[in-house]
Amino acid sequence: MTETYVCPHCGRTEERPYRVRLIILTCLDCGENGRFLHESIVNRLEEVPEAERPEEWGEMPLDERLGYAIREGLLDVSFTGAI
């Protein structure tokens, strides 16, 4: 069984045989080095209400969106045994 991680810049996915919140990789498609987020966390970003998102939300890399949402208290990704 593998887990899916998403490039914060272009959305390319990578499969890995382990489950963690993020992995740091250089993307083979866009060449950017970044924090690939587990797909379940990427899906959770949709829970952030549109009214609470900054104006540049759509242009922010996924890892920056996650950081913003956590800092602002809009999303809780505390570890509870499952990602």
Q: How many structural domains compose the chain?
A: 1
For residues 63 and 5, give the distance between their C-alpha atoms in angstroms, rounded to a whole number.
12
Burial of 56 (0-12, 13-18, 19+ CB in 10 A): exposed
Evaluate whether residue 83 is within a structural domain: no
What integer pLDDT is reported at residue 76 of this predicted model? 85
Report DSSP letters for 15-81, one per residue.
EESS--SEEEEE-TTT--EEEEEEHHHHHHGGGS-GGGS-TTGGGS-HHHHHHHHHHTTS-----SS
pTM over 0.75: yes
Evaluate whether residue 16 is within a structural domain: yes
Task: Say which range, 5-9, 37-41, 74-78, has the weakest mean pLDDT.
Answer: 74-78
Evaluate whether residue 82 is within a structural domain: no
67 vs 80: which has the higher pLDDT: 67
What integer pLDDT is reported at residue 77 of this predicted model? 78
Q: Which tens digits make up the pLDDT trace of 24-67?
A: 999 999 999 999 999 999 999 999 999 999 999 999 999 999 99
